[in-house]
């Protein structure tokens, strides 16, 4: 049983995907077509991209609830800036502004010692209010046609968002697993006081983590805005939950220290498959919301049972 | 070793004094360590060993005295500075990061880099780690995650980390407490290897035979004072033990013993086992008796007593109360049976610091002090119960609504003992009841214990202060690495025998 | 010993702040609004505001208990909406009175569910309640098909609009009763002692024979109950239960009120009175800004800032009292 649980921890998400795949293949004749699969993956990239940032945050022992607000902020700035300063500068500037939000999050968390949840929850409200203020409560259409390429274009038959996700995956994978900085994130999430004693600059590492989360959220904002061709201050309601679900379902430990980026990719695809299945049945958006919430609670439930079992095994003297 | 001269002294501490509110932890202590020397530091709990180490590692600042390191005068105001001076401490709770590999832990913050200094050079990292491990002849895979290591392996990783920081002095605090015999042998090999490389070691252990096996010199501390430093080759265990024990202070209210004739077992524990902590423990507790438990770190006593109280799980075992088999699933079951428990960690799990003195005392029985079917607390009744208990135990406080954190340690402890007494307890389990409280309060708590025993309450006392056990208990059981190794009664109990038994020495019982 | 004098001054200030800081903030804020906005001054507006503050105020009681035990619950906005739509939809079948009872019962069950997840499965409260936040909201949408439930039952409506002696709005009375009951529970009953004990030191509480898990489940259930009461009064005041609009940012206001009221996020003894005054501050602030015709988006920014301010302020207070690090 212990062995099974260890195995489940590693490949549980694959099992889920295989089951969902078999189910969908039987239910829908269209499922096994390239277009459908690419479409499902593209839908999945939204959550996955921000999931990369969230993996870092949770690995460092923190949390970020402000990602959906940052998506909206990016969207508003893009719609305002593109007509004035051109597409590339507008994108860069919008991303930089979002990163500054992350910097503020990190600063409040490390320097004022405020709980990350409360900080980012408050920041979400502030940013949402600010986005609405800047946009004067309106949605702002973008008329520069070229901008749409980012979100809807294709390269070698594969939609651009998937390429963006792949590039970010490689970058974040290298960052987390191959650079000293990434390993210091794990170190801090794993044992903060030991990391401090070992001479790591905890403040810097943490602030950068929140900057990176906001960075991924603003990338997501760029993609969404380019697809919608409109700046929407409240662009992604409920998106934070999706991101956190993907992160946790992907095997990143809530207690910090262990991040799983590949798991996040597959968890994102799995959720996207659920959405696809729900669309087949023809249910509304609310069921999607419900399903994400339930998947999260289910994942937590299984994790809770697993921990209880392992604790009981330890008392019985079974080597865990 | 060559002759003693100023040249080969690595560390010299002179006149070190450390005063805490109410206690002088170190009085004018001189201590020195030579290059490549293993210097054992021994003494009973509270002798001042850990205070000295904390001063050396920069955690405490001394109130007097000075330190010379490599001939230069040094002053550490934090741990960072001690590390810069190449002093490393290997603590009981390790300063390793579980989710990183051994090699990463050794080099955390100083990783070798590659490709424009962006990425970690894993090959070099692991090779360097390998080199350091090889230097000590440690057979450990540097790629292994620390969370997968055994305690012994973690310790080795810590030592390797210290060495990689080019440590000149490594302080080991009870390094063998949780190791198996085979692992201890390996550790000794490593220490000898370190010695050859001119690294000095301060070795702290309860186990005297280890000190004799490893060290060049032994320094004994007692009650914050240095009793003496001996060359290991010129002394023996008996001499060191008598230096450690010293004269027994007569502040104990020993009281009369219970007569052997009317022994009535109140609590009986059979085949008690908790995986990784204790194995097959059997004992009986008689009415009105004070039963002592002695054991050094890793004995499993605290774990077992917590488990008996229902605060920790057990693997197997049975408990009989008044000859009836009972099942204690949680602390509430224990309290209902009349078992009281006083923790060793008063701050962490004893006092309810946001609550008043009175509320702290009555928390266990508050349900009984109510009207309207347990709906509301009967304030007058609560005050009465508190007044009685605080008079019985002589608790000193300014106001019963005063928050408990403003009381002295001794009075806090009395409140916690009072908590168990007013719930009509028949068996009282006390873990280190006099730890960290001043001498006067200590004597009072001893008096209270004896009085309770004379009233017919049975007491289980676990203490690392052997004088306390010798002077107070009617019987004393000794556990070593989770197994019962000796039993003493009033006739054959003395401190030296207890010291020997709890560090695993075989003794002939008469 | 200059250190000592400085510390004494700091302590004095901290103690002063702990006792009078919040009322002072409330009075200053009230004065500013009263001077700048004539319509703010009327008795009618005052009673109305007080009545509005009951939604946050009543739920803040439950949240105070939960935060005292070192957890918090961000699902209550959605819970409010779900309870309101379920309860009010039962009215045609079972009548207003039984409808209210069933609404409260459902609220208790939802809170209980949160408590089970947090204690028995040992999942951190924020992540459990984050999941629940979406589940509850989605269920409210699905149940109503996103169509508001209109309430015409007079008994139910009295909870939001009724006036005692034609003067005192019923919600104010209800809030008073709730605070009275909560005070008795927390300060006069054994259970209250257990809640404080679990909050201040769960390990010590466990050694004192208290079942820590049960106490935590209880406070989550109680929070459910108080949110249920807020759901009834709020929907009664609006005359309908809207699955999408009800309880927006509700959890945020309630947590702000409790934290601003002086209960530490890390748990420990809390302050019901503080939560009450802070609930007034949060509500009056929103209403005052509304009357001053401050853009509602500015209001969002302001509430976020107040929350961060409140947490930092608490840290400062504990620091000054010498009970923690800043």
The predicted-structure confidence for C27-41, as pLDDT tens digits, reads as follows 888 888 888 888 777
CA angle B101, B107, B113 (to 5 degrees): 100
At A53, the pLDDT band (50, 70, 90 cuts) reads very high
What is the total residue count of chain C?
326
Cβ contacts (< 8 Å) between A112 and chain C: which residues? 308, 311-312, 315
- Comparing CB atoms, the residue among A197, A198, A257 nearest residue B99 is A257
pLDDT the model gives residue B178 = 67
Task: Looking at the structure, give the CATH architecture of the domain made up of residues B265-502.
Answer: 3-Layer(aba) Sandwich (3.40)
**pLDDT value at B263 more than 90:** no
- Does the structure show a pLDDT above 70 at B122? yes
Residues of B (261-300) whose Cβ lies below 8 Å from A:
274-276
Q: How confident is the model at residue B288 (pLDDT cuts 50, 70, 90)?
A: confident
Task: Please count the other Cβ atoms lying within 10 Å of the Cβ belonging to residue B416.
Answer: 25
Q: How far does the CA of residue B259 sit from the closest CA of chain C (Å)?
A: 33
> What local confidence, expressed as pLDDT, does residue C59 receive?
95
Residue A261 in contact with residue A172, Cβ under 8 Å? yes
**What pLDDT is recorded for position B22?**
58
Would C315 be classed as within a structural domain? no
3-class SS of residue B186 = helix
For residues C220 and B375, the answer to whether their CB atoms sit within 8 Å is no
Residue A167 CB-density burial (10 A; 0-12 exposed, 13-18 middle, 19+ buried): exposed
Which 3-state string (H, E, C) describes B448-504?
Answer: HHHHHHHCCCEEEEECCCHHHHHHHCCEEEEEECCEEEEEEECCCCCHHHHHHHHCC
Model confidence band, residue A84 (pLDDT cutoffs 50, 70, 90): confident
pTM of the shown model = 0.83
Is residue A197 less than 8 Å (CB to CB) from chain B? yes
Residues of chain B with CATH 3.40.50.300: 9-86+168-175+199-246, 265-502
| Angstrom distance (rounded) from CA C275 to CA C61 | 7
Give the SS3 label for residue B317: strand
Q: Do B100 and A183 touch (CB under 8 A)?
A: yes
> Using H for helix, E for strand and C for coil, what is the string for B80-143?
HHHHHCCEEEECCCCCCCCCCEHHHHHHCCCCCEECCCCEECHHHHHHHHHHHHHHCCCCCCCC
Distance CA B78, CA B68 (A): 17
Residues 6+ apart with CB under 8 A from C4: none
Q: Does B311 touch chain A (CB under 8 A)?
A: no
Interface of A with C (CB under 8 A): 63, 65, 108, 112-115, 117-119, 121-126, 128-130, 132-133, 137, 238, 241, 244-245, 248, 254, 284, 286-287, 289-290, 292-294, 296-297, 300-301, 303-305, 307-308
Q: Which residues pair with C176 in a beta bridge?
A: none
**3-class SS at A189?**
helix
CB < 8 Å to A113, chain C: 315, 325-326
Q: How confident is the model at residue A245 (pLDDT cuts 50, 70, 90)?
A: confident
Average pLDDT, chain A: 86
Question: Of A280-289, B250-259, B281-290, which range is least confident?
Answer: B250-259
Residue B312 contacts C, CB cutoff 8 Å: no
For residue C226, pLDDT beyond 90: yes
Higher per-residue confidence, C146 vs C325: C146
The pLDDT, as a whole number, for residue A216 is 95
Q: Which of B96, B99, B111 sits opposite A180 (nearest CB)?
A: B111
Q: For residue B118, is pLDDT > 90?
A: no
pLDDT at residue B414 is higher than 70:
yes
Q: What is the pLDDT of residue B196?
A: 87
Q: B354, C196: Cβ pair inside 8 Å? A: yes
Residue C283 located in a structural domain: no
Tokens matching residue A53: 């940032």
Are B99 and A179 a contacting pair at CB < 8 A? no
Task: Tell me the three state secondary structure of residue C42.
Answer: coil
Is C60 a residue whose pLDDT tops 90?
yes
Instruction: Say if the Cβ atoms of A115 and C311 lie within 8 Å.
Output: yes
Enumerate neighbours of B (3 or more CB pairs within 8 A).
A, C
Q: How far is A212 from chain B (nearest CA, A)?
A: 17
pLDDT one-digit tens code per residue, B156-182: 888 888 888 888 888 988 787 767 777
Q: What is the pLDDT of residue B210?
A: 83
Higher-pLDDT residue of C263 and C83 is C83
* Right CATH for B9-86+168-175+199-246 from 3.40.50.300, 3.30.70.60, 3.20.20.120, 3.40.640.10: 3.40.50.300
A196 touches chain B (CB under 8 A): no
CA distance C37 to chain B (A): 42
Q: Which residue of B has its CA nearest to C211?
A: B332
**Residues of C numbered 19-48 whose beta carbons fall under 8 angstroms of chain B's beta carbons: which are they?**
none
Instruction: Spell out which residues of chain C touch residue B354, defining contact as CB-CB under 8 Å.
Output: 196, 199-201, 268-269
- Spacing of C-alpha C7 from chain mean position: 34
Q: What percent of chain B has pLDDT over 70?
A: 91
Question: Which B-chain residues 86-115 have CB contacts (< 8 A) with chain A?
Answer: 94-100, 104, 108-109, 111, 113
Residue C316 maps to a domain: no
Q: Is the pLDDT of residue C322 over 60?
A: no
Residue C93 lies in a domain: yes
R_g over Cα of chain C: 20
pLDDT digits (tens, 9 = 90+) for C270-310: 889 989 999 998 888 888 887 777 777 888 888 888 888 87
Q: What is the DSSP letter of C184?
A: I
| Sign of the CA dihedral with C252 first, then C258, C264, and C268 last | negative
Rounded to whole angstroms, the Cα distance separating B246 from B243 reads: 5
In a domain, C280, yes or no: no
Cβ distance A292 to A271 under 8 Å?
yes
Q: How far is C149 from chain A (nearest CA, A)?
A: 18
Which pLDDT score, from 0 to 100, does residue A220 have? 93
Take residue B223 and report the two structure tokens written for it: 């009650």
In the numeric block, which tokens belong to residue B49?
Answer: 């060993």
Sign of CA dihedral B45, B46, B49, B54: positive
Backbone angles phi, psi at B7, to 5 degrees: -65, -40
At A218, give phi and psi (nearest 5°). Answer: -75, -30
Angstrom distances, CA of residue C48 to CA of B180, C167, C256, C291: 73, 11, 21, 13
Residue A33 buriedness (CB in 10 A; 0-12 / 13-18 / 19+): exposed
Contact list, C210 vs chain B (CB under 8 Å) = 332, 363
With H, G, I as helix, E, B as strand and everything else as coil, classify residue C187: helix
**Alpha carbon distances (Å) from A85 to A82, A90, A93, A219, C137:** 6, 6, 10, 19, 41
Q: Which phi and psi (to 5°) does residue C284 adopt? A: -65, -35
Residue with tokens 């939809």: C89
Beta bridge partners of C191: none
pLDDT band for position C265 (50/70/90)? Answer: confident
Res B351 pLDDT > 60: yes
Q: Is C300 in Cβ contact with A126 (below 8 Å)?
A: yes
C296 domain residue, yes or no: no
| Number of domains present in the structure of chain C | 1
Average pLDDT over residues A38-50: 90
Confidence (pLDDT) at C8:
66
Query: ipTM > 0.90?
Result: no
- Which residues in chain C are closer than 8 Å to A129, comparing Cβ atoms? 297-302, 304
* Average pLDDT, rounded, for chain C: 86
Q: How far apart are CA B312 and CA B320, in angstroms?
A: 18
Cα angle, residue C112 at apex, residues C109 and C114 outer, rounded to 5°: 115
Chains contacting A with at least 3 CB pairs below 8 Å? B, C
- pLDDT given for residue C324 in this prediction: 40
Q: Which of A108, A125, A300 sits opposite C252 (nearest CB)?
A: A125
Interface test with B, best of C181, C182, C201, C207 (most B CBs within 10 A): C207
Residue from A180, A184, A256, A317 whose CB has the most chain B CBs within 10 Å, to mutate: A180
Q: Considering only A7-16, C3-12, C184-193, which range has the smallest mean pLDDT? A: C3-12
Average pLDDT over residues B338-366: 88
Q: What is the tens place of the pLDDT at every residue in C117-161?
A: 999 888 888 888 988 988 999 899 889 888 899 988 888 888 888
| Residue B509: pLDDT band with limits 50, 70, 90 | very low
The confidence score (pLDDT) of residue B256 equals 52
Q: Which domain holds residue C92?
A: 43-248
* Chain A contact set for C123 (CB, 8 A): 300-301, 303-304
pLDDT of residue C7: 61
What pLDDT shows up at residue B320?
A: 93
Q: Determine the distance in angstroms separating the CA of A156 from the nearest CA of chain C, rounded to an integer.
A: 38
* Number of neighbours of residue B45 by Cβ within 10 angstroms: 14
Q: What six digits make up the tokens of B240? A: 């060191």
Using CA atoms, how far apart are residues B242 and B226, in angstroms rounded to an integer?
14
Q: What's the pLDDT at B110?
A: 82
pLDDT reading at C71 higher than 80: yes
β pairing state of B458-462 and B427-431? parallel
What domains sit in chain A, N to C, each tagged with a CATH number?
A: 2-16+40-303 (1.10.3470)
Q: Provide, as residue numbers in chain C, all residues whose Cβ is less than 8 Å from the Cβ of A294.
A: 131, 135
pLDDT band at B348 (very low <50, low <70, confident <90, very high): confident
Q: Which of A123, A297, A303, A308 to mutate to test the interface with C (most CBs of C within 10 A)?
A: A297
What's the pLDDT at A309? 81
User: Quick one: pLDDT band at residue B23, thresholds 50, 70, 90?
Assistant: low
User: Looking at the complex, does the CB of residue A200 fall below 8 Å from at least one CB of chain B?
Assistant: yes
- Section B469-483 average pLDDT: 88
CA distance B483 to B504: 10
- CB atoms A114 and C308 under 8 Å: yes
Give A184's contacts in chain B (Cβ within 8 Å).
Answer: 108-109
Alpha-carbon distances, residue A223 vs A43, A80, A103, A219, A240 (angstroms): 11, 16, 22, 6, 16
| B341 and chain C in contact, CB less than 8 A | yes
Q: Do C188 and B332 touch (CB under 8 A)?
A: no
Question: How far apart, in whole angstroms, are the C-alpha atoms of residue B109 and residue A183?
Answer: 9
Cβ neighbours around B13 below 10 Å, total: 20
Residue C291 domain-assigned?
Answer: no
Chain segment B35-74, per-residue pLDDT in tens? 889 999 988 766 788 888 888 888 788 888 888 888 888 8
Q: Is residue C38 part of a domain?
A: no
Which secondary-structure segment (H or E) carries C280?
A: helix C272-291
Cα separation, B416 vs B433, whole angstroms: 10
Full strand arrangement of the beta sheet holding B458-462: B339-342, B427-431, B458-462, B290-294, B475-480, B483-489
**Touching check for C173 and chain A: CB below 8 Å?**
no
- Is 90 exceeded by the pLDDT of residue C224? yes
What is the nearest CA distance from A153 to chain C, expressed in angstroms?
A: 33
């Amino acid at each position: 049983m212990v062995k099974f649980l260890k195995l489940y921890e590693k490949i549980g998400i694959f099992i889920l995907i295989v089951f969902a795949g078999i189910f969908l293949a039987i239910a829908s004749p269209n499922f096994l077509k390239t277009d459908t699969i690419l479409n499902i993956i593209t839908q999945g990239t939204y959550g996955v991209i921000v999931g990369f940032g969230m993996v870092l945050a949770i690995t460092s022992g923190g949390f970020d609830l402000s990602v959906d607000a940052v998506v909206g902020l990016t969207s508003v700035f893009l719609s305002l800036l593109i007509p004035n300063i051109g597409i590339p500068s507008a994108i860069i500037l919008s991303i930089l502004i979002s990163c500054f939000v992350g910097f503020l999050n990190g600063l409040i968390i490390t320097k004022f010692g405020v709980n990350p949840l409360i900080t980012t929850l408050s920041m979400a409200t502030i940013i949402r209010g600010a986005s609405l203020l800047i946009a004067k409560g309106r949605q702002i259409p973008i008329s520069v046609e070229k901008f749409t390429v980012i979100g809807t274009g294709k390269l070698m038959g594969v939609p651009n968002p998937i390429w963006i996700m792949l590039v970010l995956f490689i970058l974040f994978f290298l960052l987390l697993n191959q650079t000293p900085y990434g390993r210091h994130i794990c170190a801090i999430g794993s044992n903060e006081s030991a990391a401090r004693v070992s001479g790591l600059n905890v403040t810097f590492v943490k602030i950068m983590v929140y900057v990176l989360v906001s960075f991924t959220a603003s990338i997501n904002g760029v993609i969404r805005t380019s697809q919608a061709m409109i700046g929407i201050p409240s662009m992604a309601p409920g998106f934070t939950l999706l991101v956190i679900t993907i992160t946790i379902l992907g095997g990143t430990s809530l207690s910090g220290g262990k991040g799983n980026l590949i798991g996040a990719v597959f968890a994102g695809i799995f959720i996207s498959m659920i959405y696809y299945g729900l669309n087949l049945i023809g249910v509304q958006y609310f069921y999607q919301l419900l399903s994400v919430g339930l998947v999260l609670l289910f994942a937590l439930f299984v994790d809770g049972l697993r921990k209880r079992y392992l604790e009981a095994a330890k008392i019985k003297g079974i080597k865990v | 070793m060559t002759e003693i001269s100023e040249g080969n002294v690595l560390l010299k501490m002179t006149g070190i004094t450390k005063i805490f509110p109410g206690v002088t932890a170190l009085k004018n202590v001189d201590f020195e360590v030579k290059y490549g020397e293993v210097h054992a530091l021994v003494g009973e709990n509270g002798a001042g060993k850990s205070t000295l180490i904390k001063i050396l590692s920069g955690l405490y600042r001394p109130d007097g005295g000075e330190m010379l390191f490599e001939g230069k005068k040094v002053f550490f105001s934090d741990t960072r500075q001690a590390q810069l001076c190449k002093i490393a401490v290997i603590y009981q709770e390790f300063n390793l990061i579980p989710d990183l590999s051994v090699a990463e832990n050794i080099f955390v913050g100083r990783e070798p880099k590659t490709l424009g200094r962006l990425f970690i050079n894993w090959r070099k990292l692991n090779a360097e780690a390998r080199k350091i491990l090889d230097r000590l002849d440690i057979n450990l895979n540097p790629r292994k995650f620390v969370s997968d290591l055994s305690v012994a392996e973690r310790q080795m990783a810590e030592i390797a980390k210290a060495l990689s920081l080019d440590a000149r002095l490594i302080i080991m605090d009870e390094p063998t407490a949780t190791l198996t015999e085979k692992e201890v042998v390996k550790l000794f090999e490593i220490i000898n290897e370190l010695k050859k490389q001119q690294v000095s070691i301060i070795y702290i252990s309860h186990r005297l035979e280890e000190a004799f096996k490893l060290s060049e010199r032994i320094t004994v501390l007692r009650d914050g004072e240095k009793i003496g430093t001996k060359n290991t080759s010129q002394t023996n265990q008996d001499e060191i033990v008598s230096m450690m024990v010293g004269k027994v202070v007569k502040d104990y209210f020993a009281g009369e013993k219970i007569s052997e004739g009317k022994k009535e077992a109140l609590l009986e524990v059979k085949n008690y086992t908790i995986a990784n902590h204790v194995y097959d423990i059997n004992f009986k507790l008689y009415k009105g008796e004070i039963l002592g438990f002695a054991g050094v770190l890793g004995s499993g006593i605290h774990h077992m007593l917590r488990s008996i109280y229902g605060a920790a799980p057990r693997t197997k075992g049975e408990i009989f109360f008044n000859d009836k088999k009972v099942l204690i699933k949680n602390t509430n079951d224990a309290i209902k049976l009349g078992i009281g428990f006083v923790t060793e960690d008063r701050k962490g799990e004893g006092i309810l610091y946001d609550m008043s003195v009175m509320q702290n005392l009555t928390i266990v029985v508050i349900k009984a002090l109510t009207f309207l079917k347990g709906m509301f607390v009967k304030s007058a009744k609560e005050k009465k119960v508190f007044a009685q208990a605080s008079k019985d135990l002589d608790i000193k406080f300014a106001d019963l609504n005063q928050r408990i954190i403003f009381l002295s340690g001794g009075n806090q402890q009395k409140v916690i003992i009072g908590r168990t007494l007013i719930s009509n307890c028949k068996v009282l389990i006390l873990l280190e009841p006099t730890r960290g409280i001043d001498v006067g309060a200590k004597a009072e708590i001893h008096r209270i214990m004896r009085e309770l025993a004379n009233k017919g309450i049975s007491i289980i006392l676990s203490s690392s202060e052997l004088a306390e056990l010798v002077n107070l208990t009617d019987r004393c059981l000794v556990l070593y690495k989770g197994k019962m190794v000796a039993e003493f009664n009033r006739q054959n109990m003395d401190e030296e025998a207890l010291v020997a038994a709890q560090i695993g020495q075989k003794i002939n019982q008469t | 010993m200059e250190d000592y004098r400085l510390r004494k001054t700091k302590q004095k200030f901290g103690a002063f702040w702990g006792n009078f800081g919040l009322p002072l903030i409330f009075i200053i804020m009230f004065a500013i609004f009263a001077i700048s906005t004539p319509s703010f001054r009327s008795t009618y507006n005052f009673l109305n505001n007080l009545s509005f503050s009951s939604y946050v105020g009543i739920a803040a009681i439950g949240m105070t208990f939960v935060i005292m035990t070192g957890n918090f619950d961000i699902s209550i906005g959605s819970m409010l909406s779900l309870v309101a739509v379920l309860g009010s939809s039962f009215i045609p079948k079972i009548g207003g009175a039984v409808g209210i009872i069933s609404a409260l019962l459902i609220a208790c069950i939802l809170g209980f569910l949160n408590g089970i997840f947090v204690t028995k499965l040992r999942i951190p409260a924020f992540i459990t309640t984050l999941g629940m936040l979406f589940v509850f909201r989605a269920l409210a949408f699905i149940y109503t098909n996103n169509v508001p439930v209109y309430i015409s039952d007079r008994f139910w409506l009295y909870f939001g609009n009724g006036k005692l002696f034609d003067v005192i709005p019923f919600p104010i009375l209800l809030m008073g009763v709730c605070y009275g009951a909560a005070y008795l529970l927390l300060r006069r009953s054994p259970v209250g002692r257990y809640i404080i004990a679990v909050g201040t030191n769960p390990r010590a509480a466990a050694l004192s024979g208290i079942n820590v898990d049960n106490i935590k489940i209880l406070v989550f259930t109680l929070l459910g109950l108080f949110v249920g009461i807020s759901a009834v009064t709020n929907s009664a005041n609006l005359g309908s239960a809207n699955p999408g609009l009800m309880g927006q940012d509700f959890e945020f206001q309630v947590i702000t009120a409790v934290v601003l009221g002086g209960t530490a996020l890390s748990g420990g003894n809390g302050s019901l009175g503080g939560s009450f005054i802070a609930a007034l501050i949060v509500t009056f602030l929103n209403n005052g800004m509304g009357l001053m015709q401050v853009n509602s988006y500015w209001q969002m920014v302001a509430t976020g800032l107040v929350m961060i301010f409140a947490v930092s302020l608490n840290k400062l207070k504990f620091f000054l009292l010498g009970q923690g690090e800043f």
